[in-house]
Amino acid sequence: MTVSISGAMTDAVTPHGSRITWAAVDTWVVAKRHLLHLVRRPDELLGTLMIPVMAVAMFGFVFGEAFGVAMDVPGAEYREFLLPGLFALTMAFGIGNTTISIAEDVRGGVLDRMRSLPMSPVAMLAGRALADMILAVVELTILLALGTLFGWQAHLGIGAVIAALGLLVLLRMAFSWVGILLGLLVSGPEAAMKYFALVFPLAMVADTIVPTDLMPGWLALPAEWNPLSSTVIATRELFGNTAAPATTWVGEHALTMAVLWPVAIIAVCLPLAMARLRRLGR
């Protein structure tokens, strides 16, 4: 065998092109890796989709009539109300896979290997966020189709639907950065799995499944200020779906808040995650 292992010893100096261009290329390469994981382990995607599908079945049909009665609307109308809630809820649940995969990369040494390469540091993490956003589009497409099957409809045209999907993907990006930060902080993937149940209050104490005006006052306040609620209310508006009339400041400014919340979350979590990444080298 004469193939040389070591070719000409040219230093891996970054070819011309700006740092931002290279950060984008690296991010895409890392994102592709996470997407390949999903292709090789489709059960993960199925697992994520199982939750909203079960939720449509359970809340839409089992408890739906009762919720409808409590809200004074027919069951079909409750399902209209419910589906945007489930879209956002699915975005939130994605945080579990994000956290676990980053914790696995820390544990398994893949992140160390990346840190030994002349690649863009932010891309090591942003690749996961990008993959999550692409995955979110896939999940939402499936859920939209399923929702239509259950009789759910968007009433305000394609432009509004795209705007709503944009808000949902933005929400997912925010949760993605929360997950990335948590993945760098937890002691390992097992810990990430153990804490996953904490997503439930986050996803439920919100205007997702039960309207906040049916909640006791001490629960209604955090539910109204939950970032999920802003996205849900804004997307209900954009889909032209049933919604309880807004009675609070956050409720009235749902559209603005549906942009501000995720942007603020990313603005906090991204730099913290980068600081944590640097600290891994201590």
Partner 1 sequence: MITDEPAIWTQALRKSYPGRGAALDGIDLAVPAGTVHGLLGPNGAGKTTTVRILATLASFDSGQAWVAGRNVARDRAGVRARIGIAGQYAAVDGILSGRQNLEMFARLHRMRAREARARADELLERFDLVEAAGRPVKGYSGGMRRRLDLAVSLIRSPRVLFLDEPTTGLDPRSRLEVWDAVRELADSGTTVLLTTQYLEEADRLCSRITMVVRGRVVAEGSPAELKSSVGGRDLDEAFLLITEGA
- Say if residues 175 and 91 touch (Cβ distance below 8 Å): yes
Q: Which residues, 6 or more positions from 251, have their beta carbon under 8 angstroms from its beta carbon?
A: 224, 229, 233
**How many Cα atoms occupy the beta-carbon half-sphere of 27 within 13 Å?**
16
Dist CA 92 CA 169 (whole Å): 10
Number of residues that bind partner 1 (CB under 8 A): 38
Query: Closest separation between CB of residue 32 and partner 1, Å?
Result: 8
- Say if residues 266 and 174 touch (Cβ distance below 8 Å): yes
Contact between 30 and partner 1 per CB under 8 A: yes
Contact between 29 and partner 1 per CB under 8 A: yes
- Say if residues 246 and 224 touch (Cβ distance below 8 Å): no
Select from 5, 145, 149, 197 the one that contacts partner 1 (CB under 8 A). Answer: 5
Residue type present at position 281: G
For the chain, report the end-to-end CA distance as a whole number of angstroms: 42
Based on CB atoms, which residue is closest to partner 1, 100 or 209? 100
Select from 3, 20, 158, 197 the one that contacts partner 1 (CB under 8 A). Answer: 3
Site residues for partner 1, 82-111, by CB under 8 A, read 108-110
**Candidates 28-36, 86-94, 184-192, 246-254 — which segment interacts with partner 1 by CB under 8 A?**
28-36
**Candidates 20-28, 46-54, 77-85, 144-152 — which segment interacts with partner 1 by CB under 8 A?**
20-28
Site residues for partner 1, 253-282, by CB under 8 A, read 281-282
Select from 58, 69, 112, 198 the one that contacts partner 1 (CB under 8 A). Answer: 112
Query: Closest separation between CB of residue 121 and partner 1, Å?
Result: 10
Based on CB atoms, which residue is closest to partner 1, 74 or 118? 118
Q: Helix axis angle, 19-40 relative to 42-55, nearest 10°?
A: 80
Select from 23, 35, 37, 255 the one that contacts partner 1 (CB under 8 A). Answer: 37
User: For the chain, what is the radius of gyration of the CA atoms?
Assistant: 21
